[in-house]
Structure 1
Amino acid sequence: MDLSVIKEFLTPDNLTELIQSYRSFGPIIGITLPLIEAFLPFLPLFIFVMVNASAYGLWLGFLFSWIGACSGAMFVFWIVRKYGQSRALGFLKRHKQVRKFMDWLNRHGFGPLFLLLCFPFTPSSVVNIVAGLSKISFYQYALAVFTGKMVMIFTMSFVGYDIPSLIKQPIRTAIVLLIIFILWFVGKRIEISINRKVEKEHQHL
């Protein structure tokens, strides 16, 4: 597609109209898209949350995104916990890195999970699967998911609650991009740090 066509479409008026159309579907689509992302992690959760906040307002958009993302995470956790020992999913438990992270999670529990789930660019689908295979309790994981994703999704909602203004106000756009980069960077550093700790602990076993 020609870039000029995209540029012409991305105007405040067009974006506002698109968001109004999205809102007309009610809360179902706002909840369903973040829920589906838990099963299809290549989908852009960040975009879904930002659009929800812009379409429904900061608080309702946050609520719908949070309900969808938490529900999806808990569904994946429940499926893996229930069927993780079966032949279909047994290969996951035999994977070396999964095994290491799973053992480390068994020892450390809630803390690192909460921290990982606070950041939007953490591969939460991997976290959901490994947690499902681990011995962490359902209630511990639910608490980590509900609180961690509350922090993450509110941050993303706050960034994206007025998408049309991103076109009209370049300075705000630059600030938003900076916030996104910081979230990505901090999340990656935490992920790398946890992976290093997992490696060190396994070397000492």
Structure 2
Amino acid sequence: MFKWSAVIFLAMLAIFLIWQWEMVSELRGENISYFTQEIFPETGYGILAVTIPLLIAQNVFTVFPVIIIVTIHVLLFGFWEGLLFSFAGTTAGAGFCFLLARSWSEEKVKNFWSGKKDRWEKAAILLERHGIAAIVVLRSIPVMPSNLISAAAALTPMKVSEYMWGTAAGNISMIWILSLIAAPFWAERSDFITLLILYLIFLTVTAVIYWSVRLRSKEAV
């Protein structure tokens, strides 16, 4: 059932990309002013009906630098709203790509893990125990293609809930980093320093929560 739904969704996404090819071309050309000065004055928040689907497509096909839409969101809506909208698009796309990869390769995944020999045992244990942490770290690296991370995670026994928690934290981290990289376009120096400090606090809190949950899981066992 999901496979057919995925095929239909991919077809609709492809049609959307073709229909909006001018915008995709502007994104690939990193023409931020096209969106902020031409599209936004006419559409307002309606621009999200374009940028969020484009972020979903980006997480499946990798067609343009994601930092462009993140910058557009922050310029138009401010840091926190921009982060929220970028987070919604990237996380939805990453979740769909993961389910798509797992659905189409389910039998291969089952065969691989059920038939693993002793030499795969340590790798399996490592993935099962540190899966969330690995997802957070990988997604925090802006240059890592999201679709490759999703496909790689789909080839592990990782639960969907674990993948989505790791993806959520990693995407917030990634978007935050990209926003800081693009800070010269939208932020004052004082705002940049404040957001950098808040980002370091976010990393600390995320690490504490992860290790606390992991410790409790060990104690429960």
**Fold agreement, TM-score > 0.5:** yes
Quick one: structure 1 residues 13 and 39, their matched pair in 2 at CA, closer, same or farther if it must change by over 3 Å?
closer
For residue 147 of structure 1, the aligned residue among 169, 177, 201 is 169
Q: Deviations over 1:146-202 (max 9, x none)?
A: 011011112223443673x69xx9xx8xx9xxx9xxxxxxxxxxxxxxxxxxxxxxx
- Distance in 1 (alpha carbons) for counterparts of 2:148 and 2:42: 30
* 1:38 matched residue in structure 2: 59
Q: Which moved more, 1:107-116 or 1:47-56?
A: 107-116
* 1:58 matched residue in structure 2: 79
**Bigger relative CO (Cα 8 Å, ≥ 6 apart):** 1
The two structures have a TM-score, normalised by structure 1, of: 0.59
For residue 20 of structure 1, the aligned residue among 40, 50, 57 is 40
**Does the 8 Å CA contact 1:70/1:145 hold for their aligned counterparts?**
yes
Shift of 1:55: 1.9
Quick one: structure 1 residues 111 and 45, their matched pair in 2 at CA, closer, same or farther if it must change by over 3 Å?
same
For residue 120 of structure 1, the aligned residue among 139, 142, 153 is 142
Name the amino acid aligned to 1:118. Answer: S
**Does the 8 Å CA contact 1:22/1:55 hold for their aligned counterparts?**
no
1:69 counterpart SS class: helix
- Distance in 2 (alpha carbons) for counterparts of 1:40 and 1:28: 18
Quick one: structure 1 residues 14 and 46, their matched pair in 2 at CA, closer, same or farther if it must change by over 3 Å?
closer
**Does the 8 Å CA contact 1:51/1:160 hold for their aligned counterparts?**
no
**Does the 8 Å CA contact 1:49/1:156 hold for their aligned counterparts?**
yes
Aligned residue pairs total 151
The two structures have a TM-score, normalised by structure 2, of: 0.56
2:61 counterpart SS class: coil
**Does the 8 Å CA contact 1:119/1:152 hold for their aligned counterparts?**
yes
1:43 counterpart SS class: coil
- Structure 1 stretches lacking a partner, 5+ long: 1-9, 94-99, 180-205
- Distance in 2 (alpha carbons) for counterparts of 1:84 and 1:69: 22
For residue 50 of structure 2, the aligned residue among 6, 16, 29 is 29
Higher helix proportion: 2
- Structure 2 stretches lacking a partner, 5+ long: 1-29, 114-119, 197-221
